[in-house]
Amino acid sequence: MLFLQRIPKLLRWIFSVVLVLLLAMSIGRIIFYVTYNPSGKPFTGSAFIMGLRFDARIAGIAGLVILLLCAFSFINPFKNTRAKTFWNIFLTLVFVLLVFVYAVDFYHYDYLHQRLNASVLNYLQDAGISYKMMWQTYPLVKATIAIIVMAALARLLFGWLLRKFLFEDSFNKRTGSIYYVIAFFVLAQIVVGKFVFKPGQFPLRWSDAFTLSDDFKANVALNPLQSFFSTMSFRNSTYDIKKVRAYYPLLAQQLGVNKYDSSNLNFERLSKFADSVTNKPNIVLVICESFSAYKSSMYNNPLNTTPYFNELCKHGIFFNRCFTPAYGTARGVWATITGIPDVESPRTASRNPNAVNQHTIISDFKDYSHYYFLGGSATWANIRGVLTNNISNLNLYEEGNYKAAAVDVWGISDKNLFLEANKVLKEQTKPFFAVIQTADNHRPYTIPEEDKARFKLLSFPVDTLKKYGFESNEEMNAFRYTDFCFQQFIEAAKKEKYFNNTIFVFVGDHGIRWNGTLSYLPKAYAAEGLTCQHVPLLFYAPALLQPATDNRVCSQVDVLPSIAGLAKHAYSNTALGRNLFDTINPLHQYHGMRNVENHAFIIDHDTKTIGVVTNEFYFLRNSKSAVEEMVSIINDMPVEKNRHTDSIKNQLRQYTNAYYETAKYMLLNNKKKE
């Protein structure tokens, strides 16, 4: 007690208020848990511990605000007696607001089975109808009376707390200032929620709740205030259900939906495979950072930057016209894992708490171990929540889980990432599905010192670099280093038992925009920004697959269903990807026109365009100006305007709209199966 008396009265009062708020939120979480806990589900302490951290963050923010305001004497109740009235009223209002938010959250979950989020503000557009629905459904009178009673009790409690500390002894001013500094940093640390010391680490985020790998646990942990403010920028992320229904017949036929149901918008396609394959192949999916097609050897870039990967392509099934739906690593990972183009704008879908629940075909590999390897932290873009919440029983390896030291902000080098992953995979005794996400082909273009003896840096004149798609020698060598890392990985894997029964899949997360002229690709690739999305796609398994080069246009969203098809594994496809190896339901049976049989949807968030690329054409429309164009991607000739090309353009316009509207719907409705 003597130690506490040395602490300034103001600080003791502030932390008492913080504790009251924390206690109130904890009681709210207990009520939520008791009311909505599914029968038979055991108590989950981890959710309450995570929830306590979220609550402490909100209470800590309140404490910091009080501390900073009290730096002004006129509002400090211990220096100005008139300020007492202000704080008694203000804190009561804060408490009432807190109780009100928890009450709204309680009934919001009852209605939608979602914690409170900013989309609730959309109900204000039909305030009269919304009010009548609530009046007829929920006990609003009782809830209002309860809030009034709690407001009165809060007024008494906060008044008593302030009086209690006002009449206590003063502290020693010579040592008191240090307590203020300590208090500030303690409260700041509580607000951050984590001990963040390294680049690439992030404060506590809503997505951390979904690392609990259970939707109800995550909902128990979430704080409604944080959920509300985290979703403010996504409050208008919605879809037009009428448009989705209008385009459903087109996409249902295109995708080969098993059970046509326009009322419930069923997009599910069940595979024809049964889980009876005895020698189940392992899967290693490599998501390659900034793997631009035009920069690589497979597309005849004269700098020959990827000779080893070029040889791999000759011994695997290489799709040379693969496109990512959008630009950016977070969007590329999203599309690959979920099978849905990331049409969220301006932020990414992975940052939208309302879209975190997604079905992924990876989880359909129920008899497999699941791994995800990346060199840095999985907290960027809230991708950790997407991965751990949706990939069942995921073993996530990230910075801090490896023996190798970090080389830059992206963590350990790609070479060490591959070798560390290989060490884990070679020890497995059951089939595994592993994802490896690279990062070195990215600024700051680090080439580790330990590799410079074997990896020789090259240098070209600036005009030569720019002629073939590179801004600098640093960028070019980083691209070459990626090829070096691929070689180290495959050569190491060849020495292991798992190699001959493993399907290795390599796909770029996105390309890089290039505004120059590329003599070895049609002008439309650079002029229309297709260099942003054009990436290599390779399925490599020398003991299992016959080599082939496939010239069909395909998409990043096709990767997972194609992997499942090659593995002959049962799966449920509820998104927009297709099995590129499907011989049972070939795409051409749905469309007779060869020009649109194979296509990929593309959204360019930078230029505000959406469109569809086919084997011959790229149709795109600017979402702001509504200007449309269709260009050739096989030559530099303008598209001749006639009845035939008009028909194709109309079809591609329909597909563009269908994919865009349906993707917006799927972002919020492709929920994983319980």
CA atoms within 13 A on the CB side of 643: 0
The type of residue at 577 is: G
User: What is the pLDDT, as a whole number, of residue 593?
Assistant: 40
In the chain, the N- to C-terminal Cα span, in Å, equals 52
Residue 200: pLDDT over 60: no
| 398 inside domain | yes
Cα separation of 583 and 585, whole Å? Answer: 6
Percentage of the residues of the chain whose pLDDT score is greater than 90: 73
Give the other-Cβ count within 10 Å of 142's Cβ.
9
Q: Are residues 219 and 252 in the same domain?
A: no
Q: Are residues 384 and 527 in the same domain?
A: yes
User: Residue 33 is encoded by which pair of tokens?
Assistant: 């848990």
What is the band of 596 on the pLDDT scale with cuts at 50, 70, 90? low
What is the band of 174 on the pLDDT scale with cuts at 50, 70, 90? low
Q: Are residues 285 and 230 in the same domain?
A: no
Residue 595: pLDDT over 60: no
Q: Are residues 155 and 99 in the same domain?
A: yes
User: Residue 479 is encoded by which pair of tokens?
Assistant: 């691209």
| 648 inside domain | yes
| 165 inside domain | yes
What is the band of 594 on the pLDDT scale with cuts at 50, 70, 90? very low
| Interacting residues of 368 by C-beta distance below 8 A, sequence separation 6+ | 280, 282, 283, 430, 431, 432, 433
Tell the burial category of 26 from Cβ atoms under 10 Å away from its Cβ (0-12, 13-18, 19+): middle
Among 329, 321, 355, residue whose Cα is nearest residue 340: 355
| 511 inside domain | yes
What's the CATH code of the domain at 457?
3.40.720.10
| 578 inside domain | yes
- The answer to whether 504 touches 496, Cβ cutoff 8 Å, is no
User: Residue 35 is encoded by which pair of tokens?
Assistant: 């009311």
| H/E stretch holding 370 | strand 369-374
Q: Are residues 51 and 120 in the same domain?
A: yes
Span 37-56, average pLDDT: 89
Give the other-Cβ count within 10 Å of 637's Cβ.
9
Residue 22: pLDDT over 50: yes
| 487 inside domain | yes
Cα separation of 75 and 607, whole Å? Answer: 50
Average confidence score pLDDT of the chain: 90
Q: Are residues 266 and 223 in the same domain?
A: no
The predicted-structure confidence for 244-289, as pLDDT tens digits, reads as follows 999 999 999 999 998 999 999 999 999 877 665 678 999 999 999 9
- The answer to whether 313 touches 548, Cβ cutoff 8 Å, is no
Phi, psi for 112 (deg, rounded to 5):
-115, -5
| 479 inside domain | yes
Among 504, 470, 512, residue whose Cα is nearest residue 487: 504
Q: Are residues 228 and 290 in the same domain?
A: no
Among 292, 236, 175, 311, residue whose Cα is nearest residue 526: 292
Domain that holds residue 657: 241-669
| H/E stretch holding 177 | helix 173-192
3-state secondary structure 152-167: HHHHHHHHHHHHHHHC
- The answer to whether 263 touches 345, Cβ cutoff 8 Å, is no
Residue 592: pLDDT over 60: no
User: Residue 404 is encoded by which pair of tokens?
Assistant: 């190798």
User: What is the pLDDT, as a whole number, of residue 584?
Assistant: 55
Look at residues 211, 234, 257 and tell me which one is the last residue of a structural domain. Answer: 234
| 674 inside domain | no
User: What is the pLDDT, as a whole number, of residue 222?
Assistant: 92
User: Residue 586 is encoded by which pair of tokens?
Assistant: 């070939």
Span 46-57, average pLDDT: 94
Q: Are residues 263 and 120 in the same domain?
A: no
User: What is the pLDDT, as a whole number, of residue 201?
Assistant: 59
User: Residue 627 is encoded by which pair of tokens?
Assistant: 């200007």
Q: Are residues 561 and 635 in the same domain?
A: yes
- The answer to whether 545 touches 536, Cβ cutoff 8 Å, is no
Among 201, 420, 202, 380, residue whose Cα is nearest residue 289: 380
Cα separation of 49 and 265, whole Å? Answer: 39
What is the pTM (predicted TM-score) of this model?
0.84
Residue 607: pLDDT over 60: yes
The least confident of 69-73, 359-363, 370-374 is: 69-73
Q: Are residues 113 and 258 in the same domain?
A: no
The predicted-structure confidence for 100-122, as pLDDT tens digits, reads as follows 999 999 988 887 777 888 777 76
Q: Are residues 357 and 485 in the same domain?
A: yes
What is the band of 590 on the pLDDT scale with cuts at 50, 70, 90? very low
How many domains are contained in the chain?
2
User: What is the pLDDT, as a whole number, of residue 563?
Assistant: 97
Q: Are residues 277 and 185 in the same domain?
A: no
User: What is the pLDDT, as a whole number, of residue 336?
Assistant: 98
Cα separation of 666 and 663, whole Å? Answer: 5
Look at residues 234, 253, 268 and tell me which one is the last residue of a structural domain. Answer: 234
Look at residues 234, 257, 289 and tell me which one is the last residue of a structural domain. Answer: 234
